[in-house]
Amino acid sequence: MKRILYFIKTEVRLLKKSIIIIALILTVFLSAFMGALSVRMDFVNGFYSYLDENFSSYVIVAYRLKTIDDLMKISPDELYLNNKTWLTCAVTLENAEGQAMETTDISENAGLYSDLGAILVLNDKTKSKLDSASDALVSGQWNSGERQICVDKKVAEFLSLAVGDTVSIIPKEPSAPQLSYVVSGIFDREPLKEDYFFNFYYYITESNEFEFSNARMVYYDARSAHASFSKYEDTLGSLSVTGLKYPLSSPITDYFRNIMPIKLTLDVAVALFFAVMVVIVYTLMTMFYRQRKPFICRLKLLGAGSGTVFGIYFGIAVAIFLVVTLISSGFGVLFNIYFMHLCETVFELSFRTTFSAVVPLLSFAVLTAFTALMFALSGRRIRSDIIAQEVKAE
Amino acid sequence: MINLRGVTKIYGSGQTEFRAVDDITLDISDGEFVAIVGKSGSGKSTLLNLIGTLDSISVGSITVDGEEIGSLKGKELARFRNQKIGFVFQNFYLEPEYTVRECVEIPLILAGSFGKENTEKVDKALKLVDLSDKMKSKTKTLSGGEQQRVAIARAIINDPHFILADEPCGNLDGKNSENIMNIFKNLHAQGRTILMVTHDEQDAHMAQRIVTLADGRVISDEKNTLFY
């Protein structure tokens, strides 16, 4: 190891500026694409952007429904059963005295949002997170049973709700079921970390406007996220049963026309793959661009093993990778958050990152193939007998 | 001790087959200074490459200090080149961007040696070839004669049993050739075994034994009566 480090130190000192610049540009380029994976960009129904701190993988599949009739044909129970998630729409909340308020949004964890605050209808995932957040409770406890909810203290004030009171959730669509919930707790949202229940939310309908509505099914679990693609056909099939007027004959066509896979974030395997690919590519690049094959030959002549030679170039590649990745990661994040945001807000350009998960892998493959090809075309084998041949030729 | 038994090197096959070295049997004792001479294409460099493990033997065997070199692979082969052999070539094969010190130190580094011990060895080797004052110069800035002296210093730095030199004076003028040959004579006087390929008769007569090749075969193997 020590001898490898010695040569890395010496060789890095001799590296031409050109290779560092090339490596920098390539890494910036690739990092920008990788950033596209880790930064949520949804320019379709408004701009939401955040860094996925958990690096968990998920896919949002959006079904664009044309009318509220279509929406209501997908019953919440059925969607829950099919997709392990909640689906609801804007509702009216009404207390026992008939005092009401409107909600407009829905959270991933089935929270209903109003201008005043949130009402939590917990699923198991949220519950497990909130159990440890007792300091956010103003009174009562987190809802655990069916037909229980927790409400934001501002909502509670507005509707004069106390723990034990009953609140009705009344869908705007008359045919949808009306449900009653008992308030199990009142909470203050401030102490809660955002990602407890506020990771993201999306607009379902605007109050009293049902002419155009969207419903989405959300897959949160990293494993099921990948599996969800393969289940797509089944899901559409189940929608078909509900009587939706969907052209289901060609799932692939429908996939691109009606469904947006907005994001497939990095998971550990992809990240490792990225790192390994980049280091391999840089190793080949360093060896190729530095044209150090004669050096390799001479090293072998003087007693360097193949492992030592590879270790030297691998080490150089890692050094380049680390340095330029640190620099370029900043560029990548800037590119994704600010550049895209600028395009959206200033130039009114919309982006869809449907293929963002594929592009970096493709670019790796192309880059690797190119480098390997150039390496092969150089027509020189990395063997000490090159020197023997040269000597012979002389 | 180097023992060659029926060593043959064949390039190509069928009608294009060419025997660069053809059934050579030779023994080189420790401490000998042997010159291998012959016309261009006689197989002298090929023979040196086979002994130095730079090329593979087609038929026969070579043992160096009792070790069959044809069977050496990977780390063993690297160790053999690093510890047993010191190479000197006509074209020097130095690292142009390295300093003289760095260049000479490479075999030590590859052997896993570092620090003060290396400094002492490099100083000693450079003193031997009279290059102590060029230690910090880049090798590309040196003259041909100086570069060849760096190559010799690099070849002896690990104190190898054998020095293989392929036309060491081929690119040098008369004065520099003389200097290099004197260094070889000094190394020989210190007990090193030297195997030198040359087409220069004057250089060859600096050796104590002259092996002449033609068409890949040994046509004469004589003691040099002029050796002094």
Q: What CATH number does residue B98 fall under?
A: 3.40.50.300
B45 contacts in A (CB within 8 Å)?
391-392, 394
Global pTM reads: 0.53
A6 contacts in B (CB within 8 Å)?
109, 114
DSSP label at residue A178: P
A185 touches A140 (CB < 8 A): yes
Do A370 and A280 share a domain, yes or no? yes
Band of pLDDT at residue B7, cut at 50, 70 and 90: very high
- Looking at residue A372, its pLDDT comes to 59
Q: What is the pLDDT of residues A97-112, one digit of tens each?
A: 887 776 544 443 344 4
Higher pLDDT, B75 or A211: B75
Would you say residue A250 has pLDDT above 50?
no
In a domain, B87, yes or no: yes
Helical axes B74-83 vs A306-334, angle rounded to 10°: 110
Would you say residue B170 has pLDDT above 60?
yes
Binary contact (B110, A10; C-beta < 8 A): no
In a domain, A259, yes or no: no
Cα–Cα distance between A286 and A371 in angstroms, integer?
A: 10
Lowest mean pLDDT among A292-296, B89-93, B213-217: A292-296
- Using alpha carbons, list the distances in angstroms from residue B87 to A335, A376, B28: 54, 29, 17
- Looking at residue A342, its pLDDT comes to 63
- Looking at residue B175, its pLDDT comes to 79
Binary contact (B82, A302; C-beta < 8 A): yes
Q: What is the pLDDT of residues B60-114, one digit of tens each?
A: 999 998 889 988 888 888 899 999 989 888 888 888 888 999 999 999 998 888 8
Which among A2, A291, A296, A302 is the top mutation candidate for probing chain B, defined by the most B β-carbons within 10 Å of its own β-carbon?
A302
Would you say residue A93 has pLDDT above 50?
yes
In a domain, A208, yes or no: no
Cα–Cα distance between A177 and A76 in angstroms, integer?
A: 10
Chain A and chain B share a number of CB contacts under 8 A equal to: 81
| Helices vs. strands in chain A: H and E counts, helices first | 16, 12
Rounded to the nearest 10 degrees, how much is the dihedral formed by the CA atoms of B131, B132, B138, B142?
A: -20
Segment A253-280 mean pLDDT: 48
CA-based nearest residue in chain B for residue A296: B95
In a domain, A60, yes or no: no
A7 contacts in B (CB within 8 Å)?
109
Q: Which domain holds residue B83?
A: 31-42+73-223
Band of pLDDT at residue B6, cut at 50, 70 and 90: very high
List the one residue out of A82, A109, A103 whose CA is nearest residue A91. Answer: A103
CA angle at A316 for the pair A313 and A319, rounded to the nearest 5°:
150
Tokens of B129: 């070839």
Binary contact (A392, B46; C-beta < 8 A): yes
Which among A295, A391, A392, A394 is the top mutation candidate for probing chain B, defined by the most B β-carbons within 10 Å of its own β-carbon?
A391
Query: Pick from A303, A387, A391: which is nearest to B110 by CB?
Result: A303
Would you say residue A221 has pLDDT above 60?
no
Query: Pick from B49, B81, B91: which is nearest to A302 by CB?
Result: B81
Would you say residue B217 has pLDDT above 90?
yes
CA angle at A116 for the pair A111 and A122, rounded to the nearest 5°:
15
Count of domains forming chain B: 1
Q: What is the pLDDT of residues A121-143, one digit of tens each?
A: 544 445 555 666 677 788 988 77
Domain end (from A203, A221, A245): A203
- Looking at residue A203, its pLDDT comes to 25
Rounded to the nearest 10 degrees, how much is the dihedral formed by the CA atoms of A97, A99, A102, A103?
A: -40
List the one residue out of A90, A180, A187, A89 whose CA is nearest residue A134. Answer: A187
Residues 6+ apart with CB under 8 A from A12: A316, A319
Specify the long-range contacts of residues A265-273, CB closer than 8 Å, at least 24 apart: A265/A37, A265/A38, A265/A52, A265/A55, A265/A56, A265/A57, A265/A58, A266/A34, A266/A37, A266/A38, A266/A52, A266/A55, A266/A57, A267/A55, A267/A56, A267/A57, A267/A222, A268/A55, A270/A37, A270/A357, A271/A55, A273/A361
Cα–Cα distance between B148 and B92 in angstroms, integer?
A: 6
- Looking at residue B34, its pLDDT comes to 93
- Looking at residue B122, its pLDDT comes to 93
Highest mean pLDDT: which of A235-239, A290-294, A353-357, B219-223? B219-223
A308 touches B109 (CB < 8 A): no
Domain end (from A179, A203, A227): A203
Percentage of chain A surpassing pLDDT 90? 1
Higher pLDDT, B137 or A29: B137
List the one residue out of A100, A89, A91 whose CA is nearest residue A155. Answer: A100
Segment A316-339 mean pLDDT: 61
B interface with A, Cβ–Cβ below 8 Å: 20, 45-46, 49, 53-56, 74-75, 77-83, 87, 89-91, 93, 95, 97-98, 102, 106-107, 109-112, 114, 154, 158, 166-167
Segment A41-52 mean pLDDT: 29
Q: What 3-state DSSP class applies to A337?
A: helix
A307 contacts in B (CB within 8 Å)?
75
CA angle at A192 for the pair A190 and A193, rounded to the nearest 5°:
110
Segment A78-91 mean pLDDT: 36
Cα–Cα distance between A123 and B127 in angstroms, integer?
A: 81
Segment A179-194 mean pLDDT: 73
Count of alpha carbons within 13 Å of B125, Cβ hemisphere only?
Answer: 29
Segment B47-72 mean pLDDT: 89
Query: Pick from B78, B95, B166: which is nearest to A303 by CB?
Result: B78
Estimate the share of chain A in helix, then strand, then coil, as percent rounded to the nearest 5. Answer: 50, 15, 35
In a domain, B3, yes or no: no
Binary contact (A392, B49; C-beta < 8 A): yes
Binary contact (B110, A388; C-beta < 8 A): no
Residues 6+ apart with CB under 8 A from B134: B100, B126, B142, B146, B150
A175 touches A197 (CB < 8 A): no
ipTM exceeding the 0.85 mark? no
B55 contacts in A (CB within 8 Å)?
385, 388
Percentage of chain A surpassing pLDDT 70? 21
Binary contact (A388, B49; C-beta < 8 A): yes
Would you say residue A45 has pLDDT above 50?
no
Band of pLDDT at residue A298, cut at 50, 70 and 90: confident
Segment A354-379 mean pLDDT: 51
Count of domains forming chain A: 2
Highest mean pLDDT: which of A266-270, B170-174, B198-202? B198-202
Cα–Cα distance between B154 and B177 in angstroms, integer?
A: 18
Q: Which domain holds residue A337?
A: 2-46+265-393
Nearest CA of chain A to the CA of B109: how many Å? 6
CA-based nearest residue in chain B for residue A312: B110
- Looking at residue A272, its pLDDT comes to 62
Within 10 angstroms of residue A166's Cβ, the number of other Cβ atoms is 13
A67 touches A210 (CB < 8 A): yes
Band of pLDDT at residue A234, cut at 50, 70 and 90: very low
Do A198 and A305 share a domain, yes or no? no
- Looking at residue B128, its pLDDT comes to 85
Band of pLDDT at residue A162, cut at 50, 70 and 90: very high
B114 contacts in A (CB within 8 Å)?
2-3, 6
Binary contact (A303, B79; C-beta < 8 A): yes
Binary contact (B78, A305; C-beta < 8 A): yes
Do A128 and A9 share a domain, yes or no? no
Higher pLDDT, B157 or A178: B157
Highest mean pLDDT: which of A38-42, A290-294, B5-9? B5-9
Segment B123-129 mean pLDDT: 89
Count of alpha carbons within 13 Å of A376, Cβ hemisphere only?
Answer: 6
Cα–Cα distance between B192 and B169 in angstroms, integer?
A: 19
In a domain, A127, yes or no: yes
Lowest mean pLDDT among A90-94, A308-312, B37-41: A90-94
Domain end (from A175, A203, A231): A203
- Using alpha carbons, list the distances in angstroms from residue A286 to A278, A290, A313, A321, A380: 12, 6, 7, 11, 15
In a domain, A258, yes or no: no
How far is residue A201 CA from its own chain's centroid? 15
A32 touches A331 (CB < 8 A): yes
Nearest CA of chain B to the CA of A308: how many Å? 8
Which sign does the torsion angle of CA A335, A340, A345, A346 carry?
positive
A286 touches A19 (CB < 8 A): yes
In a domain, A289, yes or no: yes
Would you say residue B16 has pLDDT above 80?
no
Would you say residue A163 has pLDDT above 80?
yes
- Looking at residue B62, its pLDDT comes to 93
